[in-house]
Amino acid sequence: MELMRKWVQVITGFLINAYWAFPFTRTIYQGPLKVICAPGLNCYSCPASTSYCAIGALQQLMAGVRPALENGQYFLGFYVLGSIGVLGAFFGRLICGWACPFGFVQELIHKIPSPKFGLPRPLKYVKYFMLVFFVFLLPLLVVDQFGGGHPWFCKYVCPAGTAEAGIPMLLMQPSLRTTIGWLFYNKLIIMTVFLVWAVFVSRPFCRTTCPLGAFYSLFAKARLVKLRLDEARCTKCGACHRVCPMGVKFSEEPDDVECISCMACMNEACKENAIYLEVGGVAFGRPPQPRVPAKGEAP
């Protein structure tokens, strides 16, 4: 299953970044596919990107709400919210585990041999702050003299944008190198911090800062595809806690907002078959059967 997940990550990464003519055209893809939402965090200024980034598009729409309304255009982000809402209601954070290129990069970096550490739980709330303030409120409320806002998350934070778009654009168009300043260095530092952090901590950006992950996590209890715990079978041995890349204690909190449904707990850890996949209420793979207590064990 882990191999299959890796393949899905690679294939998804290629599908949403399928424009490989960019080294020759020296520009980004500008075709009609860019009306399709990338499921994971994938910068749409990446030269190879063939889809739009929901977080980038939302900020741009929020930043342009006032000028749009003045022109009688009701661009309030409904299309983008609808797109990621449908994805969220279907898969929730399973997308983070299976279809996010930046999550995949962090996973690969985490394979570098080094001491591994956990993450203080309160840090997970930073991503909700990012979603509310940097994606919605600041682009909407902090405006210039023309009534336009700025995409705060992209501009000041997003390490995926720096890695996938900022650096490639500078390499492709050397004339842009004269325009870089503190803004770019600030983003370069942020990107470097997250990439180095990923060596020691599993998926630090996804767990602390990603606003798309924060949005998908809102569907933790009410998504179609999710992992479930069969309480009758669970022995509370804690094996699922030890393999989780997101620090979820699945046997204690099966609906944890951090669960990315990578299925490591189900396939690699649980010997009791207490964890199973469920789609809309229907158990898949191995429907849970009541666990037979061992000899001498209380039922």
Q: From the CB of 102, what's the least distance to other proteins, in Å?
A: 14
Nearer to other proteins, 80 or 105 (CB): 80
CA distance 115 to 51: 37
Q: By the 8 A CB rule, do 101 and 112 touch?
A: no
Q: Which is nearer to other proteins, 6 or 273 (CB)?
A: 273
Q: Which of 39, 77, 204, 245 binds other proteins (CB under 8 A)?
A: 77
| Footprint on residues 133-192 left by other proteins (CB under 8 A) | 150-151, 154-155, 161-162, 165-166, 169-170, 176, 179-180, 183-184, 186-188
| Residue whose CB is less far from other proteins, 90 or 200 | 90
* 284 beta partners: 277
Restricting to residues 12-41, which ones interact with other proteins according to CB under 8 A? Answer: 27-28, 30, 32, 34-35
3-state secondary structure of 39: coil
Residue whose C-alpha is closest to residue 162's, from 150, 173, 170:
170
- Closest contact distance (angstroms) between CB of 3 and other proteins is 28
CA-based radius of gyration for the chain: 21
Q: Which of 83, 125, 131, 96 is nearest to 259 (CA)?
A: 96
Window 254 to 293, contacts with other proteins (CB under 8 A): 280-283, 287
The nearest distance, CB 294 to other proteins, in angstroms, is 24
Residue pair 42/164 in contact (Cβ under 8 Å)? The answer is: yes
Among residues 73, 116, 285, 293, which is the contact residue for other proteins, using CB under 8 A?
Answer: 73
Q: How far is the CB of 127 from other proteins (least distance, A)?
A: 19
DSSP 176: G
Cα–Cα distances in angstroms (integers) from residue 27 to residues 42, 100, 240, in the given order: 17, 23, 45
The H-or-E segment that residue 279 falls in is strand 275-279
User: CB-based contacts of 283: which residues, under 8 Å, 6+ apart?
Assistant: 228, 276, 277
Q: Which is nearer to other proteins, 132 or 279 (CB)?
A: 279
Name the residues that contact other proteins, by CB under 8 A.
Answer: 27-28, 30, 32, 34-35, 43-45, 52, 56-57, 60-61, 64, 68, 73-83, 85-86, 88-90, 150-151, 154-155, 161-162, 165-166, 169-170, 176, 179-180, 183-184, 186-188, 219, 221-224, 280-283, 287
